[in-house]
Amino acid sequence: MAGHIPEETVDEIRKSVDIADVVGEYVKLKRQGRNYFGLCPFHGENTPSFSVSSDKQIFHCFGCGKGGNVYTFLMEIEGYNFLQAVHKTAERTGHSLPEQFNEEPTKQQDPESQSILEAHEWLTKLYNHLLRHSKEGKQALQYLLDRGFTEETIYKHQLGFSPTSQEFVVTFLEKKGFHPQTMVKAGLLNVNNQGEYFDRFRGRIIFPLRNHLGKTVAFAGRSLGEQEPKYLNSPETDLFQKGKLLFNFYLARSAIRKTKTLLLFEGYADVFSAEQAGVENGVATMGTSVSEVQAQLIKRYADQVIICYDGDEAGTNAAVKAAKILKRTGCQTNVARLPEGMDPDDYIKKFGGDRFKKEIIEASDPYTSFIINYLRRNYNLQLEGDRIAYIEKVLQEVAQLDRAIEREHYLNELATNFQISVETLKDEVENLRKRVTSKDGQGTKNNSRQNRSFESHSVHQKLLPAFHNAERKLIAIMLKNQVIADKVQEELGGAFNISEHQVIVTHLYAYYEDGHQPDVSQFVERIEDQSLKNLVIQLTMSPSAEEEITDQELADYIHRIRIESMDRTDIKSLEAEQKRAEQHDDPIKAAEIAMEILRRKKELKNTH
């Protein structure tokens, strides 16, 4: 799986970085003893269950179970393949890889993903060509021009058109050597009951959706006529996940880097209009709210993000949600206010780009002002009770601000608006802040979180049968102790009962036989299957992996595993005997054996 880079080089590069530094660029980590904890970037959560071990050079999430070494992390969060992950790590440590590995890294992707990416690339070009130069595409082209799209935009974004003909695209893909079944899986073709293939997007204007590396991974199609549905997207695949992709991120990247600011829109149309008005740092979510993964991606490129959603109730509520997630990543977050009922596209078309920049973007509200305004809608400020409840809510927001000068600004405003002494408000805010820090400080809160993760982990363990736990504990110890691994290999070999465990120990024996020292971060490199990788990491991170084991315990574990395995073998041979009896037309004997199997299975259950 290391492509053709020698294993030693892969290891050397891996060892020359600290995984905590790499992860730390994506996740805010807090040190707790020998490990770091933070909010998992791979699943939404409010309490940290994501941990990084500097000793072991691995990460692990107790929440979603993801884990691995620094390469696994980069592959997961950036969508890199293995070679790209090694490259990126090498860049950071100043290692130069031998010439022959510097080729286009995507070449190393698995053949199916590679083929799907290539098909998207070909179709992007084909659709774009058909839109701009074919007779069939004329109407679509005119439609786009009428809607204000410039030729430049059409070219830059490679907008396209898919002809109404059933076979056109099918034949095209076939000629290029793509397998139709793979293309169905990729969401490019559909297949009907007669087994005929046809283009999923036929008769539609095509918007290619690129990932942040610039590769087209999906299409969005808009029908021209009466065809339903009006908007049709590619289905989610391994390569295309709505929650991870930001529309136009790749093309907007350099503008985002330059300005350190990113504009977040709700729809593609807004991105196009803004771009044509000279605002090139705009991206859009794919009809979903901002995810943690997207927020982390944004944070890496931008210091400031301006949320620019539709000026209606739904848009405002969505903006609140997005603002909270983005604020958590540490991005300076502003929210633009659009006139009621208008979206950014409408606004730019009506008032032009300059006014959009001045009156919407530059006049956007900082997060706290926006939230203070937003909270207002829930209260009738004519009523004293509501007024107090509202002020309390606002104070809670203000208390979260890190800078004293900012807090003062809002408190002064509040004091003026509600004729309250600013001193009283300050006292309140200080009280709130103390409460927050005493809860948060000293690591007490995090400790209990950490314990909770371990607790739920051990509750899970208690529910497993004894032999299963014996296997897990044994593997955890074998991963860090070669002497014990050798002993287990001698006594048990691969005779573990859980098939995942069999695979892991087989790899582990081979790993030690190759002369390697215990190093789980290196070892997981040998395991291709991500869920097995996760399991290895999970076992390594479990508290029992830290315990020492006595000879007696070791013997007990081995005994337990062996008994289970023998029982299973017995049942298997009985089952074979039963089958033979059936084949020889001896139903009475078959039934007797069946009874015996049942009895033994029941016994097996009772012993756990």
Nearer to Zn ion, 77 or 425 (CB): 77
DSSP code for 356: I
Please name which of 456, 291, 274, 292 lies closest in space to residue 283, comparing C-alpha atoms: 274
Nearer to Zn ion, 63 or 163 (CB): 63
Cα–Cα distance for residue pair 276/602, rounded to 1 Å: 72
**Is residue 116 a contact partner of residue 89, using CB atoms and an 8 Å limit?**
no
Nearer to Zn ion, 42 or 410 (CB): 42
Nearer to Zn ion, 43 or 327 (CB): 43
Nearer to Zn ion, 43 or 321 (CB): 43
Q: Cβ of residue 326: shortest distance to Zn ion, in angstroms?
A: 19
**Is residue 140 a contact partner of residue 222, using CB atoms and an 8 Å limit?**
no
Which residue bears the tokens 């004729």?
A: 419
Nearer to Zn ion, 43 or 449 (CB): 43
Please name which of 18, 90, 12 lies closest in space to residue 54, comparing C-alpha atoms: 18
Nearer to Zn ion, 63 or 311 (CB): 63
Cα–Cα distance for residue pair 109/120, rounded to 1 Å: 15
Nearer to Zn ion, 40 or 536 (CB): 40
Q: Cβ of residue 325: shortest distance to Zn ion, in angstroms?
A: 16
DSSP code for 216: E
Cα–Cα distance for residue pair 557/563, rounded to 1 Å: 10
Q: Cβ of residue 389: shortest distance to Zn ion, in angstroms?
A: 36
Q: Which residues of 171-185 are buried (b: 16+ CB within 10 A; e: fewer)?
A: eebeeeebebebbee
* Strand, coil or helix: 35: strand
Cα–Cα distance for residue pair 216/205, rounded to 1 Å: 16
Cα–Cα distance for residue pair 272/270, rounded to 1 Å: 5
Q: Cβ of residue 23: shortest distance to Zn ion, in angstroms?
A: 12
What are the angstrom distances between the C-alpha of 466 and each of 247, 471, 476?
50, 9, 15
Cα–Cα distance for residue pair 168/181, rounded to 1 Å: 17
Helices (H), 38-105: 70-78, 82-93
* 585 Rama sector, left if φ>0, alpha if ψ -120 to 50, beta otherwise: left
Bridge-based pairing of strands 332-335 and 304-308 is: parallel
Q: Cβ of residue 70: shortest distance to Zn ion, in angstroms?
A: 17
Angle, CA 321 vertex, CA 317 and CA 322 arms, to 5°:
115
Q: Cβ of residue 39: shortest distance to Zn ion, in angstroms?
A: 9
Nearer to Zn ion, 51 or 521 (CB): 51
Q: Cβ of residue 445: shortest distance to Zn ion, in angstroms?
A: 19
Q: Cβ of residue 60: shortest distance to Zn ion, in angstroms?
A: 9
Which residue bears the tokens 């002497």?
A: 483
Nearer to Zn ion, 61 or 361 (CB): 61
Length of the chain: 608
Q: Cβ of residue 40: shortest distance to Zn ion, in angstroms?
A: 3
Q: Cβ of residue 297: shortest distance to Zn ion, in angstroms?
A: 17
Nearer to Zn ion, 47 or 506 (CB): 47
518 cis-preceded (ω within 30 degrees of 0): no
Q: Which residues bind Zn ion (CB under 5 A)?
A: 40, 42-43, 61, 63-64
Q: Which residues of 558-569 are buried (b: 16+ CB within 10 A; e: fewer)?
A: bebbbebeebbe
Helices (H), 134-265: 138-146, 151-156, 168-175, 180-185, 249-259
Q: Cβ of residue 44: shortest distance to Zn ion, in angstroms?
A: 9
**Is residue 481 a contact partner of residue 510, using CB atoms and an 8 Å limit?**
no
DSSP code for 57: T
Nearer to Zn ion, 40 or 284 (CB): 40
Q: Cβ of residue 46: shortest distance to Zn ion, in angstroms?
A: 12
